Amino acid sequence: MLIDFTASWCLSCQVNERVALQTPAVRAKLRSHGVTLLKADWTRRDDRITEALASYGREGVPLYVLYGRDKNAPPRLPAGGC
């Protein structure tokens, strides 16, 4: 599962979605690996999403969190961040 923490007002989020996440090649690669894309829309600063961001040590978007097949393995997060 890949969680896309995003918001409509976030320019970086919108660019990343258009040039990467929504391209046919990336969508096909995700499907071929059985990866489900889950969008966490923080446009209205939902408290649950704020808490989830904090649980990953982040204060804002964009953030991408990848969970592998091993349920005991920690999720993978990009280096750096908000």
What CATH number is associated with residue 35?
3.40.30.10
Query: Is 80 contained in some domain?
Result: no
What is the tally of structural domains in the chain? 1
Q: Is the pLDDT of residue 82 over 60?
A: no
Query: Is 41 contained in some domain?
Result: yes
Neighbours of 80 (CB within 10 A): 5
Give, in order, the Cα–Cα distances in Å from 12 to each of 31, 43, 69, 82: 24, 13, 28, 11
- For residues 25 and 64, what is the distance between their CA atoms, to the nearest angstrom? 18
In tens, the pLDDT along 56-70 reads 999 999 999 999 999
Query: Is 60 contained in some domain?
Result: yes
In tens, the pLDDT along 35-59 reads 999 999 999 999 999 999 999 999 9
Can you give the pLDDT at residue 78?
Answer: 82
How many Å separate Cα 59 from the centre of its chain?
14
Q: Is the pLDDT of residue 80 over 60?
A: no
Task: For residue 9, give its domain range.
Answer: 2-66
Query: Is 38 contained in some domain?
Result: yes
Please answer whether residues 42 and 53 qualify as being in contact, where contact means their C-beta atoms are separated by less than 8 angstroms.
Answer: yes
Query: Is 32 contained in some domain?
Result: yes
